[in-house]
Amino acid sequence: MNGQAKPERTDSNVGKRPTRRSRHPLEIIPFFQRFPRSELRNILYTLIWNLLFAVFFTWLSLLFQPELSIVSTFWTCMLIANCIGFLIHGSFALGGRLLDGWLCRQSSGVVSLYYSVVAVTCVFAGQWLAFTLLEWNEAKRNMLSAQGAIGLLLLSFFISAILASIFHMRERRARAEAAFQAERARVEAAERQFHLARFKLLEAQVEPHFLYNTLANVISLIDPDPAAAKRMIARLIDYLRGTAVSAGTTDATLGSQLELLRAYLDLIVLRMGSRLRYRIEIPEELEALPLPPMLVQPLVENAIKHGLEPKVGGGEVVVRASRTGDDITLVVADDGLGVRVASPGASTGIGLANLRRRLATLYGTRARLTMEDAQPGTRVTVTLPGSVA
């Protein structure tokens, strides 16, 4: 007949102090979990809960005394059930407000004892109130006798046993849910670390080739154009310094990535000469935007490698960024050969493939990477959720 749930101990975050959330006993039935919690809903649930007890005790009374009237017996049981049930409901609600902090620090045994004492006290008080309303003075006197007290104690223990069973079932379910959430968080963290390590491995495989090609170009320029060789070495130092800083963090800003990108593009320009031109059109207010490291450069590398280097006359690569509503849009476009002209079976680069996986890991379906033939050239667009800012 208890209409107010025992507050449930739930561990929403591992390592944090448990909190208790008031739940109604009816929520053990999945159907009653569908409705949002409120005091009005809990009062209605208590009425239903009391009705179930009234039906049960009506059936029990008629089982032993078949001559009783069903209607009068039911309404009598309903009155008693509501007196007891709403007293327990109010006691648990008041106790939850006044003793929540204390209850959170106690063991399950102490909490069970607390609710048992409340239930026993409310059964006695509820019976007394119901007998007063029914003007059953003889029944009130019998409550104080040994036989009456034993009967009420048995009823109290029956109700307490039901509530304790529900309480412990929810305790086990809450612990299982907390363990599941902790394991899922651990698996997600491990997946992020795996993808980050894979990205670093792929990056380490690419860097030596880029470094060898750049140094080979420096050597070829030392005699015919020492000034160009000197500029290439200076930009190579800038690039390597920026790469070292980027490798030491999992976060970066769009501005820091652009600085690294400019050093990279200057090196490629020194190698390709007039065959390569580039433009970076990024609003100043977006440069402080937090982004995962090495998000823009793989797009530019892909454009140069597959679109501009194979083209006899070279071309231009353009990098743009904009904010549309809550989303951030990055665009890397070139006027090279285009994705359809590339040789059959040619890869679009490990950088792009890895970038797709990183975006999926970091943002799930909230991030998109699209590649389209711009005729001429290729345009790659990355859309990120505004929450990254």
276-281 vs 315-324, strand pairing mode: parallel
Look up residue 107 and give its DSSP letter: -
3-class state of residue 253 by DSSP: strand
pLDDT tens for each residue of 294-338: 788 888 988 888 889 888 888 999 999 998 888 889 999 999 887
% of residues, the chain, pLDDT over 70: 78
Cut 0.75: pTM above it: no
> CA-to-CA distance for 90 and 96, rounded, in angstroms?
10
3-class state of residue 110 by DSSP: helix
Residues 50 and 78 sit within 8 Å (Cβ to Cβ):
yes
pLDDT tens for each residue of 371-387: 988 888 899 999 998 65
pLDDT tens for each residue of 90-125: 888 888 788 777 777 777 777 777 777 887 788 888
Residues 55 and 74 sit within 8 Å (Cβ to Cβ):
yes
Q: Using the structure block, give the residue that is written with the tokens 């008693």.
A: 80
Q: Using the structure block, give the residue that is written with the tokens 């790659």.
A: 380
CA distances from 268 to 76, 224, 274, 284 (A): 92, 18, 10, 25
Residues with Cβ within 8 Å of 249's Cβ and at least 6 positions away in sequence, in order, are 293
Show the domains of the chain with their CATH numbers. Answer: 8-184 (no CATH), 225-388 (3.30.565.10)
- Sheet containing 276-281: give its strands across: 276-281, 315-324, 327-334, 378-384, 368-373
CA distances from 31 to 45, 162, 174 (A): 12, 19, 18
Question: pLDDT-based confidence at 201, cuts 50/70/90?
Answer: low
